[in-house]
Amino acid sequence: MTKHIKKLGNFSRREVLVGSAAGTGLVIGYSVLPNAVDSASKAIAAGNWDHQQYLTMDSEGKAYVYVTKCEIGQHIGTALAQAVAEELEINWDDVNVIYPDSHAKWGLMITGGSWSVNWTFDRNSRIGASARIALVEAGAKLMNANVNSCYARNSVVYSNDGKSISYKDILSRTTIDRTFSE
């Protein structure tokens, strides 16, 4: 496989934010003020939240992947949602693909030339991985387990001592506030 290294949508100068409020789900987006954000909740409160949210999860543990490429028969939505889902370690039945209306907030919404997966895979993988890490951390805390002994699989966080908690239970019981830099 060819390794592609590129800057996508100014991703390299932004921080990924993972935030929620107890019982309301999870939102993944970007800070528009690089290196100036210490938490997702503060960024949201200060109005420094970029509306380019590519993944949301509800309190039922369902994920909504926003695909900003046109579906014209090549199943681009499936491919891009799968990049998020695989890193998120979510059950595919819990994934929904959303095609938002064309708007500048989504950045370049071009489809063609086999670019969609090539240009968007890295971003979507990082978004899924960020959400998984945040969910594992929150799950470990709720189970009173060491985060280093926890992992996610099929929409559930497990600890090596046999405990487990579903994404649904995590998102309905706690607030997640996490910032990731590239």
The C-alpha R_g of the chain, in whole angstroms, comes to 16
Whether the Cβ atoms of residue 8 and residue 16 lie closer than 8 Å to each other:
no
In the numeric block, which tokens belong to residue 86?
């695989």
pTM: 0.78
Domains of the chain: 11-180 (3.30.365.10)
Amino acid at 29: G
The whole-angstrom distance between residue 66's C-alpha and the CA centroid of its chain comes to 10
Spatial separation of the C-alpha atoms in residues 98 and 67, rounded to whole Å: 6
Which residue reads 């100014």 in tokens?
A: 10
End-to-end alpha-carbon separation of the chain, Å?
Answer: 22
What is residue 88's predicted lDDT score, i.e. its pLDDT?
96
Give 10-residue mean pLDDT values along the chain (182 residues). 41 56 62 53 59 77 86 80 95 92 69 73 87 95 97 98 96 84 66
What is residue 15's predicted lDDT score, i.e. its pLDDT?
60
